[in-house]
Amino acid sequence: MTNNTDHHYDAIIIGAGMSGSYAAKELCDKGLKTLMLERGRNVEHIKDYPTTSMQPWEFPHRGQIPHDVKKENPVISRCYAYKEDAMHFFVKDTEHPYIQEKPFDWIRGYQVGGKSIMWARQVQRWSDYDFEGPARDGFAVDWLIRYKDLEKWYTKVEGFIGVSGNKDGLDMLPDGDFLKAFDLNCVETYFQDEIKKYYKDRHVIYARCAHLTENRPIFKEQGRVLCQGRNICQRGCPYGGYFNANSTLIPWANRTGNLTLKPHSVVHSIIFDDQQNKATGVRVIDANTKETTEYFADIIFVNAATFNTNAVLLNSKSERFPDGLGNDSGVLGKYVAFHNYRARISATHTGHKDFRTVGGRPTSAYLPRFRNVYKQETDFLRGYAAGFGANRYRNVEAEGFGSALTQGLLKNHDLGPWRVGSHMMGETIPKESNHLSLDAEKVDDWGIPLLKVDIDYDNNDEKMIQDFFEQLTDMYKKAGFTDIRTQDDKRNPGLDIHEMGGVRMGHDPKTSMLNKWNQLHACKNVFVTDGACMTSVSTQNPSLTFCALTARAANYAVEQLKKGELI
């Protein structure tokens, strides 16, 4: 097999989601013959978005998930985007089981493009306060990099994918290469002004999002046009108005002639050659035929999404690495963290009665983290960001049945008061007890050990939730909002869909897995640049940082390959 020239490439990428596809774009641009492996089916831009132009009445259940489907899929049916118009992009519970040592809702999208098709599209940069957090309060190992190491890569990624936002001038949320922003509505702007009036350290801004609001030559070259504000992005956008891998990265890499994409390719493990002391290839099982094939390359990028990246490395055992590839430290699969989205707060705003909203908009307002930014000021570590939105709805008569109900619904009703709402995006602490492992006996349909997930909230999370309620309540009261209601929905970890860690970056190979270039300390030609590489999780939506890390690592890998350092 090793002599089969059809199975040799310069680089292999495991996973065709957002970060894997970004690696493909960079490696192919640099001239490397690249194989990208995806365990799910192929999804081509526009062609494979079956519901993208359907009207509400064209769905058999008007967009809702039938009861029997919900009953069979209790985990995935809790995801906000799992509806009739996008259910075909999500993994069903019964098709890919995993073991929950503690309740964890693992949301997955096994197809080319991965979850980049259905993601929420918010993109905020990290600042030095985020990268320095572990060193300051000691809840994880120190990051090897700081903002200056990623700044130009953030700019590169934003320029390619298109990010709408304002230059806000905030040190805890650096500005980027932005397209013009959508407008905040009148009540969101009112809240922004009230917060400015009462607080010096808190800011309400427009939430930066990966949507095209201006035409630039690069977007025309990609074949994308402006966002239409349809707000049905989870179906896939035929205009390419928001960024996903299918409309942008994969076609770009394809045009170089250097990309080979193989869907239906379940990665079993990475092959390590003890004599050469490096990884030489990847062992793949055909998802349909169960046939095993091996592919070989000088560089391997593992971008299967956080949990599956951990699983691939844990299952990549050899005489040199009996506990998983690169796992000399014993921390592989450990120190996993996520974002805490349990807390919400709503209220009524009785002003602005002469205004209403019309049309769609892909994002809302955003409150960057304001707790423990410059110093430790609370009895919990780190902090939280928050979303904020305001809407006004019709007062609807929904009484009675039959014609009485119909007539009530058809009446020209007055608009009710404005409703405002905010949700918390809290940082959880990476700790050894939150970990992943492989089951010793149970395997999936391809003979690969099932992943065991042992992750939970802790007392730090509970304290943070209470602080969020207290601080947002105070902010709401200062803005004159009434009927303030708090809610802890007690959701399981996982519904934030921001799991990170397990293959963390760090100075010391005895306590970490990766160096500052996202290389395995103990296997220099293997790179990990998806969520698994994260040392801590901060409060920002993480996808932009994954892409920036990927672009940086891919360019470094090419440089090292040309120098003969990875061969």
Q: Where are the beta strands (DSSP E) in 194-307?
A: 205-206, 259-262, 265-273, 278-286, 292-302
pLDDT at res. 276: 93
Q: Where are the beta strands (DSSP E) in 161-264?
A: 205-206, 259-262
Alpha helical stretches, state H, 210-369: 217-222, 249-255, 306-315
* Strand 99-100 versus strand 449-454 pairing type: parallel
227-256 pLDDT per residue, tens: 999 999 999 999 999 999 999 999 999 999
Alpha-carbon span 413 to 139, nearest angstrom: 54
Provide the pLDDT confidence category of residue 414 given band limits of 50, 70 and 90.
confident
Alpha-carbon span 22 to 16, nearest angstrom: 9
Query: Which three-class secondary structure state does DSSP give residue 5?
Result: helix
Q: 450: part of which helix (H) or strand (E)? A: strand 449-454
pLDDT at res. 3: 62
Alpha-carbon span 278 to 275, nearest angstrom: 8
* Strand 334-337 versus strand 339-340 pairing type: unpaired
Provide the pLDDT confidence category of residue 257 given band limits of 50, 70 and 90.
very high
166-217 pLDDT per residue, tens: 999 999 999 999 999 999 999 999 999 999 999 999 999 999 999 999 999 9
pLDDT at res. 567: 79
pLDDT at res. 263: 98
pLDDT at res. 139: 85
pLDDT at position 322 over 90? yes
How many CA within 13 A on the CB side of residue 230?
A: 19
Show the tokens assigned to 39: 């365990």
pLDDT at position 142 over 90? yes
Cα–Cα nearest to 10, from 517, 315, 309, 23: 23
Alpha-carbon span 362 to 360, nearest angstrom: 7
Backbone angles phi, psi at 498, to 5 degrees: -125, 35
260-319 pLDDT per residue, tens: 999 999 999 999 999 999 999 999 999 999 999 999 999 999 999 999 999 999 999 999
12-46 pLDDT per residue, tens: 999 999 999 999 999 999 999 999 999 999 999 99
Alpha-carbon span 50 to 41, nearest angstrom: 14
Provide the pLDDT confidence category of residue 2 given band limits of 50, 70 and 90.
low
Q: What is the DSSP-derived secondary structure letter of residue 242?
A: B
Give, in order, the Cα–Cα distances in Å from 133 to each of 332, 369, 398, 515. Answer: 22, 13, 51, 18
pLDDT at res. 89: 98
Alpha-carbon span 196 to 202, nearest angstrom: 7
Alpha carbon 139 to its chain centroid, in Å, reads 23
Show the tokens assigned to 450: 């099932």
Provide the pLDDT confidence category of residue 79 given band limits of 50, 70 and 90.
very high
Percent of the chain with pLDDT over 70: 99
pLDDT at res. 270: 98
pLDDT at res. 374: 94
Looking at per-residue confidence, does 94 or 519 come out higher?
519
455-477 pLDDT per residue, tens: 999 999 999 999 999 999 999 99
Cα–Cα nearest to 106, from 71, 73, 152: 73
Show the tokens assigned to 476: 């709401």
pLDDT at res. 5: 67
- C-beta of residue 232 within 8 angstroms of C-beta of residue 8: no
Alpha helical stretches, state H, 335-458: 402-410
Domain spans of the chain, in order of start: 1-52+75-100+112-164+208-338+431-451+499-567, 197-207+340-427+457-492
* Strand 334-337 versus strand 500-502 pairing type: antiparallel
Give, in order, the Cα–Cα distances in Å from 411 to each of 358, 389, 414, 497. Answer: 20, 27, 9, 41
Residue 295's DSSP bridge partners are 282
pLDDT at res. 4: 65
207-234 pLDDT per residue, tens: 999 999 999 999 999 999 999 999 999 9
Provide the pLDDT confidence category of residue 6 given band limits of 50, 70 and 90.
confident
Alpha-carbon span 76 to 96, nearest angstrom: 11
379-393 pLDDT per residue, tens: 999 999 999 999 998
Dmax (CA) of the chain: 80
CATH number of 1-52+75-100+112-164+208-338+431-451+499-567: 3.50.50.60
Q: What is the mean pLDDT of the chain?
A: 96
86: alpha, beta or left, given left = phi > 0 and alpha = psi -120 to 50?
alpha
Provide the pLDDT confidence category of residue 413 given band limits of 50, 70 and 90.
confident
pLDDT at res. 334: 98
Provide the pLDDT confidence category of residue 359 given band limits of 50, 70 and 90.
confident
Alpha-carbon span 227 to 210, nearest angstrom: 10
pLDDT at res. 393: 87
